[in-house]
Amino acid sequence: MPSSVRCSSTPCLRTSSNRTNCWQRFPFPARRNHRRHFPTEGFMRHLKRATILVCALALVITGIAAAQQTAPQRGGTIVIALGADPETLNPGITTGYAVGAITVNVFSGLIRLGPRGEVLPQLATAWEVAPDGRTYTFRLRPNVRWHDGRALTAQDVKFSLEEIDGKFHGRFRLAWGSVESVTTPNAATVVIRMKQPFAPFLQMLDTFNAPILARHLFQGEDVPNTPRNLQPVGTGPYVFREWARGDRIVLERNPNYWEPVYADRLIFRIIPNAAQRTTALETGEVDVVTDFYLSKTDVPRLAQNKAIRVRHGQPIPALDFMFINTRRGALGNAKVRQALAFAINREQIVQQAMRGLARPARGPFGDGFRFAYTREGDFTRLYPYSPEKAAQLLQEAGVARDSLRLSMVYDAARAPLASAAQIIRDNLRQVGITVDLVPLERSVMIDRVYTKGDYDLTVQSFTSNTDPAIGYHRIYLTASPGQPFVNATGYSNPEVDRLLAQAAATADLEARAKVYAQVIQILARDVPTLILFDEIGIDAARTKLRNLWQGLDARDAWWLTWVAP
């Protein structure tokens, strides 16, 4: 294997003895050095300083391994709490959290990511990557069928990448710009050729970023608006059965899936109120509340409940931002945006909104990617909490005290973000800025922020899997308006666009770090977003569930979880 990287259905990544050798051969840093991207030990040190809560969480977690050492059981139902209905059930046209939580069980990608970020087979059982990173060849799993009985072919993969994911998916579109062609030499082979390398391209071919959809259902359709988006037909471990809006979405086991699927069904319960989600978990009405919808206020109580296990330190880097609409009046002035950065007490947000289960973010790509951090661009150093400095900058920008009134839009179902919005409002009031809070149902929020751009400030959460190019570049790149979960601020800087493209195409981490240092310097000056905090993922589940969290994302791999008798 000297000329390319090869992985198969029994990949070298599965065993520790072979894993190092495979990483050394792999041409891109996102796989070879993935441990550098998940500095959970730093998060753990932060947690250990946080109070008795940490001890309680640690005691709970020590029992997880022992609790999961039971034989797999078929049958039963897993009930997962969501805060809102998804905006669609087509994962190829949005990166929305609830959409991904449901559809990762219905659809498949060419690969999937394991709990340590390792690349594992899914629709592809083997692949080869050319040494220059410009050609990817995938061998498809035989005898895979869509839930309607039709056979999966390489044409489905080609169609999905070209006509859906490459056009509409907020994250995959970035990688698609580096793709030259997708060809199908036969029904079981897909060859992707690149114009230039894209460092994390292989990791982007999972269900969350490049889901494979049925060509026979979507060809000729108006993809973003077709009714087929509400009746998903995939190849995944569960089959869609029911969507009762405002109440539940039901999936049932796919008897034809190639791996064991343990639970008979998954039910996603729609519970908009955070306190009610916690109560439902405590009473057993639901079995799981993942970090995105878990109230941090309730974590200490849950950690003391013997019927519930709490996991902290989910490995996916996640950041929470305050986006600033640079197209709106005074907010187009960088000095005003810098003033906002000085006016907001991010440590207060961490302690009060997140109950200490986060840390103030130091840069636009967070602490999850150490090569994408520079001390010179550290936001905690450049923008310490200083109402006095904020007032000075506002005066220099010609903004009189009490003359600026802004709207703050946020997802009403996200309790931590609601708390953060309230703290931001109070902070800005101290420097003479009035903020009107606008909590919205999630689909309405998405339309207002991303489609219409009708907001001044908004608080949002973003993740980036195994590489900053996967999820964070889209925040800063010049973008066409109206695309969900891409650049919502209207920020456009050709130099940032050029540098981010260069970073994505660069395999060497040291060279990449130098490029990111330039990007960070520009973003620290322009402040199109204020990075609020780095999340420490906290998930909670009933102890009757075994073999939990077998994917990199807490939403993934529910088919590998079983219900203990």
Q: What is the pLDDT of residues 13-54, one digit of tens each?
A: 322 333 322 322 223 333 333 333 333 344 334 334 433 343
Would you state the pLDDT for residue 50?
38
531 pLDDT more than 50: yes
* pLDDT for 139: 99
Dist. CA 252–CA 266, nearest whole Å: 6
Judged against a pLDDT cut of 90, whether residue 11 lies above it is answered with: no
Average confidence (pLDDT) over 393-397 = 98
Q: Is residue 140 a contact partner of residue 124, using CB atoms and an 8 Å limit?
A: yes
The C-alpha atoms of residue 144 and residue 260 are separated, in whole angstroms, by 15
User: Which pLDDT score is estimated for 537?
Assistant: 83
In the DSSP assignment, the letter for residue 353 is I
- Are the beta carbons of 207 and 104 closer than 8 angstroms? yes
Mean pLDDT of 441-468: 93
pLDDT of 59 above 80: no
DSSP SS3 for 277: helix
Query: Lowest mean pLDDT: which of 31-40, 257-266, 426-435?
Result: 31-40
pLDDT, one tens digit per residue, over 279-307 is 999 999 999 999 899 999 999 999 999 99
For residue 33, what pLDDT is reported?
35
Higher pLDDT, 37 or 214: 214
Kindly tell me if the per-residue pLDDT of 66 is higher than 80: no
Asked if 57 and 312 touch (Cβ cutoff 8 Å), the reply is: yes
- Tell me what the mean pLDDT of segment 394-407 comes to: 98
Burial class (CB in 10 A: 0-12, 13-18, 19+), 447: middle
Position 295 scores a pLDDT of: 92
**Exposed, middle or buried: residue 548 (CB in 10 Å: 0-12, 13-18, 19+)?**
buried
**Quick check: pTM over 0.85?**
no
Q: Which residues does 482 contact at the CB level (< 8 Å), separation at least 6?
A: 450, 451
Rg (CA), the chain: 23
pLDDT for 141: 99
**Minimum mean pLDDT range among 155-164, 220-229, 324-333, 555-564:** 555-564
- Best CA proximity match to 103, nearest among 216, 205, 234, 202: 234
List pLDDT tens digits, range 182-194: 999 999 999 999 9
| Coil/strand/helix, residue 393 | helix
pLDDT of residue 69: 53
Residue 563 CA to residue 287 CA, distance in Å, equals 10
Distances (CA, A) of 278 to 162, 249, 250, 546: 42, 19, 21, 20
Class in CATH terms, 318-537: alpha beta
Question: What are 215's two structure tokens?
Answer: 């060509």
Residue 456: exposure state from Cβ atoms within 10 A (0-12, 13-18, ≥19): buried
Main-chain dihedrals φ then ψ at residue 453, nearest 5 degrees: 65, 30
What's the rounded Cα separation, in Å, for the pair 308 and 549?
15
C-alpha to C-alpha distance for 175 and 166, rounded to whole angstroms: 8
Which amino acid is it at 371? F
What pLDDT, on a 0 to 100 scale, did the predictor assign at position 367?
81
Is the CA virtual torsion 74, 75, 76, 79 positive or negative? Answer: positive
Sign of the alpha-carbon dihedral angle for 21, 23, 27, 33: negative
**Contact present, 251 and 261 (Cβ < 8 Å):** no
pLDDT of residue 251: 99
Place of tokens 């009757």: 544
Pairing of strands 288-289, 537-542: antiparallel
Taking the domains of the chain in order of start, what are their residue ranges?
Answer: 318-537
CA distance 254 to 74: 13
CA distance 132 to 95: 30
Average confidence score pLDDT of the chain:
88
Average pLDDT over residues 77-81: 98
- What pLDDT is stored for residue 19 in this prediction? 32
**What is the spatial distance between Cα 241 and Cα 251, in angstroms, rounded to a whole number?**
5
Query: Is 50 exceeded by the pLDDT of residue 116?
Result: yes
pLDDT for residue 503: 96
Task: Round to whole Å and give the CA distance between 240 and 250.
Answer: 6
pLDDT of 40 reads 37
Span 337-379, pLDDT tens digits:
999 999 999 999 999 999 998 889 899 998 878 899 999 899 9
Lowest mean pLDDT among 19-33, 144-158, 421-435, 451-465: 19-33
CA distance 550 to 529: 33
Whether the CA torsion 399, 404, 407, 408 is positive or negative: it is positive
DSSP string, 407-463: EEEEETT-HHHHHHHHHHHHHHHTTTEEEEEEEE-HHHHHIIIIIS---SEEEEEEE
Q: Which of 350, 318, 274, 246 is nearest to 471 (CA)?
A: 318
In whole angstroms, how far apart are CA 204 and each of 20, 223, 359? Answer: 21, 21, 27
CB 433 within 8 A of CB 406: yes
Q: What percent of the chain has pLDDT over 70?
A: 87
**Which pLDDT belongs to residue 315?**
56
From CA 501, how far away is CA 42, in angstroms rounded?
A: 29
**Quick check: 476 and 464 in contact, CB under 8 A?**
no
The amino acid present at 360, given as its one-letter code, is P
The tokens for 248 are 């539940």
The pLDDT, as a whole number, for residue 268 is 98
